Structures are given as structure tokens and as C-alpha cells.
Amino acid sequence: MSGEAATPNAVKLVHISDIHFGAANPAALEAFREYVAQVRPDAVLVAGDITQNGRQREFRAARSWFESLGVPCVVAPGNHDTPALHLPLHLHRRFSSPFEFYRRHMDGFDCVGRLVEFGDGLVRIAAINSARGVQGRLNWADGVIDLDGLDTALQQLAGGRDDAWRILICHHPLREPGHSRISVDTRRGGHALARCAAAHVDAILTGHVHDAFAHPLHAPRRHMVQMGSGTLSTRLRATRPSFCLVTIDREHIEQEIITLGPQRLDVHRNYDSRTHQPEMLFQHPASHISGG
């Protein structure tokens, strides 16, 4: 069965994003719940866009669903988790306190500003908020990395066991995946990647593009990988609703993509750190590395 641990002490993390409550896919939500009940992962990691319009009722539905899964949920926000521009009663919050509803309803799940550990410290997880309510460019959906906030998360990840795996969660990919159907322009994303590599981050778990991927990168200690999850919403791009299982033991990390097929869940082993060769992070042109 999918989800069997690589070793008895492996940590199993289910990575999802872009659920978009308000535009969620009920069949995908139920299939996911059944999968979690069978696999019993150590945690579900949620890389943003929990809601479609940032409405309180959408956050309440999301919280109820997280609580129904019966496993720890670790959450970071996305650009849809602020009040939508077409909601006049809450438009002022997008400018003054864009994540007020997110913080209120995701209390206890939100991982921004704190460290979470699994597997007796084998896996250390922190998160940053790469989304903004407003910003000085036309596409407010694009990501922005606050380097001070990133440094705080990297300090939280530092330390622990010598063999610990360090995972950062953020909604926006720090570098645009090659197959993305939407433009991903994450400001200071290249700087963030370089800082993550220097801080020995092993995996960056993201969302936003609605299609799962794994993007291996060179790093000083172990190879770093940027991973994206699919979507559990009706807002599909290249693939059906999907999510990922990330399995970590002392020696390696694996990613399986689980896709909702017509009659069943289809499983595809997409990444294994023992066999995938990384890109050389620092061989890209400086203009690409800077991330804008």
C-alpha cells in the first residue's frame, strides 16, 4: 500500500496546498481523508491557499476539516488567505490586517514563527509567510520573501540532532518550476534559496502552482529539494487533484505524488534523494538568482 515507511523509523508527512475552501473539490477532500486514515502519517503539512476568498466561513470549514483528519496539521498561509478584492465589507482588512482571519481561525495550526519536530527530532519544520495583502506591483498574488522573517525561521531550524532534516514551508516557490502553467515571480526568492542552502535546509515545501513537482538543487550538506503539492480544489491546471507523501528516514527523502483518478488514487514515485541529481544552484545567472 502507498505510504509504507522506508524504514521502521521513517517520518511520513502528507504535503497539501491550495485546498481553496469555497472552491474545494468534495470528492478530493473525502479521498484525502480516507488516505490519511489508512496511512496515518505523522502530520499533514499545508502550504497555503486554504481558502478561496479569505472568508471566515471558509476558514471555519477548513478548521473543521483539519480537525477531522485526526493527525497533526502544520499550516502556512497563501495569497488567497486574505479578504478577496470583491468583498467590500472586508476590503479594508486586506490593507490594514490581511491575515487577521487566518490567524484567528488557524490558531494552533499556524506554523509561522514556531518550530515543529517529528520523529524524535529527525525532522524539524518551520514556516514563513510569502503572501501579501497588497504590494507595489500589479500582481498581488505573487510572493515576497521577508529576509528577516526567513532568517528567524532558519535560526529556528538550526541545531537539534546531527542527522536532523530541516524543512521550510512557504506558499510560493522560491524559483519557478519549469513546467508551471502560471508565472511565479517570488521577490527575493533567489536570495532566499541561497540562504536556505547556507543554513542546510533540506527541503522547501510550497504550493501556488496547483501541480506537484520536485526540483532538486545543490546545497553544501545534503542536496536540497524544492517540492510543490497539487490542489484539492476545482481550480485545476495541468493535472487532476493531487497531493504528496514525503517520507524521510535518516539517509534520504522521497516524494510520491498521489492523484485522484476516475476510480482510485494513482501513486507515482516522483523523487528519491538517492537517485535524483540536483541542479547547481549557484551556476544560474545572477539576475535569476536575485529573485527580483
* Cα 10 from Cα 273, distance rounded (Å): 14
Please indicate, yes or no, if residue 199 is contained in any of the structural domains: yes
With respect to residue 6, please indicate whether it lies within any of the assigned structural domains: no
How sure is the predictor about 90, in pLDDT bands with cuts at 50, 70 and 90? confident
* pLDDT of res. 1: 36
User: For 191-249, what is each residue's pLDDT tens digit?
Assistant: 999 999 999 999 999 999 999 999 998 777 778 999 999 999 999 999 999 999 999 99
Q: CA separation (Å) from 123 to 39, 126, 247?
A: 18, 10, 10
Q: How far is CA 269 from CA 82, 242, 256, 266, in A?
A: 34, 13, 4, 10
In a domain, 1, yes or no: no
Q: How confident is the model at residue 7 (pLDDT cuts 50, 70, 90)?
A: low
DSSP per-residue codes, 220-287? SSS-EEEEE---SBS--SSSSSEEEEEEE-SS-EEEEEEEE-SSSEEEEEEEETTTPPPB-GGGS-HH
Q: For residue 21, what is the domain's CATH number? A: 3.60.21.10
Closest by CA position to 15, among listed 208, 264, 205: 205
What is the pLDDT at residue 280? 54
**pTM, whole model, 2 decimals?**
0.91
Total domain count for the chain?
1
Specify the higher pLDDT residue, 111 or 89: 111
CA–CA separation, 255 and 214 (whole Å):
8
Confirm whether 143 is domain-assigned. yes
Alpha carbon of 185 to those of 61, 130, 255: distances in Å?
30, 11, 25
CB neighbour class for 277 (10 Å; exposed up to 12, middle 13-18, buried from 19): exposed
Residue 5 belongs to a domain: no
Rounded Cα distance, 257 and 260, in Å: 10
In this structure, how many other beta carbons lie within 10 angstroms of the beta carbon of residue 161? Answer: 14
C-alpha atoms less than 13 angstroms from C-alpha of 17 in its C-beta half-sphere: 29
State residue 176's pLDDT score: 87
Per-residue pLDDT, averaged over 266-272, amounts to: 94
Task: Give the pLDDT score at 89.
Answer: 74
Residue 163 lies in a domain: yes
pLDDT at 292: 27
Q: Compute the distance between CA of residue 147 and CA of residue 164 in angstroms, rounded to an integer.
A: 23
Instruction: Judge contact between 147 and 189, C-beta under 8 A.
Output: no
In a domain, 134, yes or no: yes
Q: Which domain holds residue 84?
A: 11-289
Q: Is residue 139 part of a domain?
A: yes
